[in-house]
Chain A
């Protein structure tokens, strides 16, 4: 037949082999860091260390150690200057402590100034190229949005990746302080945390007796398909700290639901018949709120909460999409809703 085909095939194999050889050699060469890390070292398995040893010898002993959500320790001598935030919660925390990030995920749009930051992709799939192009020296990730695999890949950028998790009010105050300290804004972080803690304490001081505390159902979703927020969700934690009882108990997450939520049907809700229903509409700003859509259903009208006028729309951003320092405002909104008689 034709030997041309064989020759071209051989040539192709040789070229592929050369490319491969070069490429496989590349891996060892390319593990050096993309950017210099500003005096930050991380310990624990698999982490990459910077030249912290030299820097800590010449700097004053301001070196502090922090632990992130995954249990890894980070030693920070000087606050990082180029920090990329990987979730809306992180962005808000950083603004709250007065140390805004360098870049944000595209879904983060609070506060107003954040919108002018460059976007590095979505929270679920941050763009490594965009992040690298920012030449960061520190990354703050969100455990609920970036899984361990993504974090591992992020670590390859050669900078420390500090993972936070905002699943409760305590998480907010904890990380306000931690992030504040990391960024050299210890006082601001402490102040922001204390403000929230103060609101909680004030509310808890004025709680009525056990039997007068409301049973609350937190409904998240649309009229066709909604979830109930369980005690281990952020909104569930908020009402718990305010002394309310969650109509839905803890239990395994149901099929297809995000962590902390359970799928629910209208029948089950009617069976529970809670005192208060807090509705989180996620259909977007142009769609009618979920509570109004549900109002069309006669079964809905039979709920005690509906009859008593105790169905309230509550903001999705602060409770679900971007749990963070704005919980202070949420507490202010919730207290009169839960305890209208005080």
Chain B
């Protein structure tokens, strides 16, 4: 499995949002995208997910350009979890998660054993089994987000793209989700690209970090290489001190705005 962007450029009308991004995701990698709002993280993820067509350059999955993939086959390999979702009325949690099996199901919709297993597993991994029969509208924002996450997991993709997966979750569940990502990565070799706004989480959970600013890659590499006060200042305009916790994990402590 490989997912690669080469010289990826994307315009919204006259405005250029992504300027020639080059990145290759190798099988079994976890990559974090960080950067200020408007830096293009979501756009980049949606381009990787085949939702936006590149204005220049190309995105390739397993060596083939995305346009060459049929939508269904692509959906079997790549899943995307967005930040926001339209309200879904009258659907139960299990009903929602079951839709994640769509790319694997033919025309006649009787669910197979594999489908049932995937759904149950996804519900279990996201701690949603107790809520499985409840209607989505009855859940809190965080629970709903977990349900959508379970949907993406039920897809059983090879690549998981996550757009701010920890938004709206309380601290405990943020850990749950991120630990789950790591576990799936280790167990199933799931490759992950996730946009995060918490630099510390990026440092802790990702093997590689990409810093984006205004549609350009400022830096790319391991946490130690990339998370320096200089790069944070350049990307965010914020002064930070980089500390190392007793566990060896990098901690980013904000000091103040640059130029204050």
Residues of A within 8 A of B (CB): 1, 3, 6
Contact = CB atoms under 8 A, between A and B. Distances in A.
Interface in B77-122: 98, 110-111
4 contacts: A1-B98, A1-B111, A3-B110, A6-B110
Interface string B193-214: 0000000000000000000000
Contacts of B98: 1
A3 B108 CA distance: 13
B35 to A, nearest CB: 42
Contacts of B111: 1
A9 to B, nearest CB: 11
Interface residues of B, number: 3
Contacts of B110: 3, 6
A334 to B, nearest CB: 71
B113 to A, nearest CB: 12
A3 to B, nearest CB: 8
Contacts of A3: 110
Contacts, number: 4
A6 B110 CA distance: 9
Interface in B3-53: none
Interface of B: 98, 110-111
A1 B97 CA distance: 12
B27 to A, nearest CB: 33
A5 to B, nearest CB: 10
Contacts of A1: 98, 111
A3 B111 CA distance: 10
B234 to A, nearest CB: 52
B189 to A, nearest CB: 30
A1 B98 CA distance: 9
A120 to B, nearest CB: 49
Nearest to A2: B111
List 4 tightest A-B contacts by C-beta distance, closest first.
A1-B111, A6-B110, A1-B98, A3-B110
Nearest to A1: B111
B105 to A, nearest CB: 12
Nearest to B115: A1
A322 to B, nearest CB: 58
A54 to B, nearest CB: 60
A28 B111 CA distance: 44
A10 to B, nearest CB: 12
B120 to A, nearest CB: 12
A83 to B, nearest CB: 59
Nearest to B109: A1
A309 B217 CA distance: 100
B133 to A, nearest CB: 12
A6 B111 CA distance: 11
Nearest to B98: A1
A207 to B, nearest CB: 80
A1 B111 CA distance: 7
Nearest to B111: A1
B150 to A, nearest CB: 16
A3 B110 CA distance: 8
A3 B116 CA distance: 13
B122 to A, nearest CB: 15
Contacts of A6: 110
B97 to A, nearest CB: 12
Nearest to B94: A1
Nearest to A3: B110
Nearest to B116: A1
Nearest to B110: A6
A3 B113 CA distance: 13
B46 to A, nearest CB: 31
A3 B109 CA distance: 11
A53 to B, nearest CB: 59
A187 B70 CA distance: 87
A1 B110 CA distance: 8
A278 B105 CA distance: 78
A80 B67 CA distance: 79
B162 to A, nearest CB: 28
A4 to B, nearest CB: 12
Nearest to A6: B110
B66 to A, nearest CB: 32
A54 B94 CA distance: 75
A31 B98 CA distance: 52
A1 B92 CA distance: 12
Nearest to B119: A1
A176 B3 CA distance: 93
B109 to A, nearest CB: 9
A207 B111 CA distance: 93
